[in-house]
Each structure stands twice: as C-alpha cells, then as structure tokens.
Structure 1
Amino acid sequence: MSEFTPEQADTLIGTAEQMIQIWSRLSPEKQSALLSRFGTRENALAALVTTRLLSPANN
C-alpha cells in the first residue's frame, strides 16, 4: 500500500470535509436515497468523495 503525499492527503481531507458538509445539507429524502443505493453513510460519503475527486472540474 502506498502512502499519500502531504498534498494528496490535504486534498483528500479537504474533499472529505466538504462532502460531510454537503451531506449535512442534503434533504432527508436525498440522504435516504443515497443510503438505499450505497448501504451505509460511509459508503455514500465515499461515493460522493470519489465523484468529487474524479469530476472534470477538479482535473
């Protein structure tokens, strides 16, 4: 397993913090839909983080 560079770690942590903030602002219906699709809040947040990291705006 490779370690993250400090820059990668900062990006990951910052993105995760943003996703947690976004999660808290989602409607209960949207949270429920994400939980239904991904099974757990952790999986749903991981999907949000992955989507955020892979979006063209971040490349």
Structure 2
Amino acid sequence: MTEFSPAQADALIGTAEKMIEIWTRLSPEKQSVLLSRFGTKENALAALVTTRLLSPANS
C-alpha cells in the first residue's frame, strides 16, 4: 500500500470534507439519484471526491 505525503493527505481530507458538505446541501431528490446510481452513500461520496480530484480546475 502506498502512503500519502502530508500534503497529499491534507488535500484528500480537505476535498472529502468539502464533498460531505456538498452532500448535506444536496436536495433529497439529488441524493436519491446519486444513491440509486452508486448504491451507497460511501460510493456516491467517493464518486464526488474522485470527480473533484480529477477536475481540470485542480490541475
């Protein structure tokens, strides 16, 4: 298993915190769509985090 550097860990934790915050602001309908697509809240959050980490704005 590869360990994260402190900077990578901080970036990952910060992004995850932002995605959880975004999740709580989503309407129940949007949460439902994400849950039906990804199966679990954890998978939906992982998809949000991955999308955030891979978005061009973070390059």
Cα distance in structure 1, aligned partners of 2:12 and 2:45:
12
Partner of 2:50: 50
CA drift at 1:11:
0.2
RMSD after superposition: 0.2
Q: Shift of the alpha carbon at 1:25?
A: 0.1
Structure 1, unpaired ranges of 5+: none
Identity over aligned residues, as a percent? Answer: 83
1:37: Cα distance to partner?
Answer: 0.2
TM-score, length-scaled by structure 2: 0.99
Q: Which runs of 5+ in 2 are unaligned?
A: none
* Residues paired across the two proteins, number: 59
Runs of 4+ in 1 over 3 A off after TM superposition: none
Q: Deviations over 1:7-45 (max 9, x none)?
A: 000000000000000000000000000000000000000
TM-score computed with the length of structure 1 as normaliser: 0.99
